[in-house]
Amino acid sequence: MSSYHPEATFFLHFILLMYDIGCASQRWSQDRTSWALHLQGLASLVHTPSTEAVSRLKAYLSWYVLLLDAQAAQAGNEEAGTYLRAFLKHDCVLPLWPVAPSAEKTFSSPEMYEIFLQVHKLSLLIFQLYAEQSQLSLDMRRNVHAGQSNVTDRQRQVEELSIRHQRMWNMHCPVFPEDPHNPFSLENQPAIIQGTFHFARLQYSVLSLYLHSSMYPQQRLESSQYAEVDAEHCAYIIKAAQASVVSQDTENHHLAPGLFIAGFVSRDPAQKQEALTLLRQLSLAGLSGAVRRVYHLLDLAIKEQVQKEATGGRAEEVDWVDWSRKNSVKYVVLGM
């Protein structure tokens, strides 16, 4: 009689993945890459059938692992991407947590329930965009280091993906009335709708900033065409983090990657310092150790940018992925 249980093995891989990511991010040996093996195990098990008792939890973890793998890829970890590729191979499908028949009754109207479904779909779209972009980043960095790409091709790939992301966002993003007194304005929606939408909107800005700045070494030296829109994304991320601090939200570690990339990309010295200040404040709650490490990395990166400018160079010369590795500051994901 077999003692192998796919569900139990899936959860075991997840626990060990989180443990190994934490170890690798706390300056354990730099060749500690066993976290990538657990991504492989999770990828092989994610589509196995689950019992009703655990299907919701497994579905939630399935999408969370996708985000972790995407962030690991964006941080330049060549071992990352196994889970991403499995997701893309399966037509961007992962298990979905079932919507209980009573869920519709928790909303005051059918229209409000429809809005919930729209923002839920929008959040899942963000995960798909993360997967596509992160895999492209792995490919582009690999090709640049191997001398197998040119400026024209790189800029074309970034522009095509940027246009695709904007088109997909505009297509699926619900439009909320700006009048706060309108019952269909975002301010008057239930907390689950507001929270889901704000998460998706924040991640859209994070994706855009990364796409325009950190897909491959020296990217910001090759083009400045996104400077204006990037400034808007930086401002949005900073504002979202400020609101979280004001509300004393303790579940805010997901803001750390956004604050890092906003602080790194911003050309406004005051905004850079605000990103550092917010990271310091966020580190006082939640997963404080992880956020403190992100603060440390951003602080070092900004100092490197200042040093470049002081010696006649440009802040855009600093590629945080390659620079952090050269200085033995390796992160699997930012904020975990």
pLDDT in tens, 241-275: 999 888 877 667 789 999 999 999 999 999 999 99
Residues contacting 219, CB < 8 A, separation 6+: 154, 158, 212, 213, 319
Residues contacting 101, CB < 8 A, separation 6+: none
Whether 269 maps to a domain, the answer reads no
- Average pLDDT (47-52) is 79
pLDDT at 202: 96
The band of 1, judged by pLDDT with boundaries at 50, 70 and 90, is very low
User: What size, in residues, is the chain?
Assistant: 336
Buried b (16+ CB within 10 A) or exposed e, 296-317: ebbbebbebbeeeeeeeeebbe
Cα–Cα distance for residue pair 302/324, rounded to 1 Å: 12
Whether 42 maps to a domain, the answer reads yes
pLDDT at 312: 94
Q: Give the number of other CB atoms < 10 A from CB of residue 153.
A: 12
The band of 34, judged by pLDDT with boundaries at 50, 70 and 90, is confident
Cα–Cα distance for residue pair 286/335, rounded to 1 Å: 10
Whether 151 maps to a domain, the answer reads no
Whether 3 maps to a domain, the answer reads yes
Give me the chain's average pLDDT, please: 88
pLDDT at 288: 59
Q: Give the number of other CB atoms < 10 A from CB of residue 161.
A: 18
Q: How far is CA 278 from CA 178, 241, 264, 283, 295, in A?
A: 27, 7, 14, 8, 9
- Average pLDDT (320-333) is 79
- Residue range(s) defining the domain that contains residue 17: 1-98
Q: How many distinct structural domains can be found in the chain?
A: 1
Whether 192 maps to a domain, the answer reads no
Whether 79 maps to a domain, the answer reads yes
Whether 66 maps to a domain, the answer reads yes
Residue bearing the bigger pLDDT, 86 or 28: 86
The band of 5, judged by pLDDT with boundaries at 50, 70 and 90, is confident
Residue bearing the bigger pLDDT, 118 or 289: 118
Whether 188 maps to a domain, the answer reads no
Residue 44 has which token pair? 């092989």
Cα–Cα distance for residue pair 318/122, rounded to 1 Å: 33
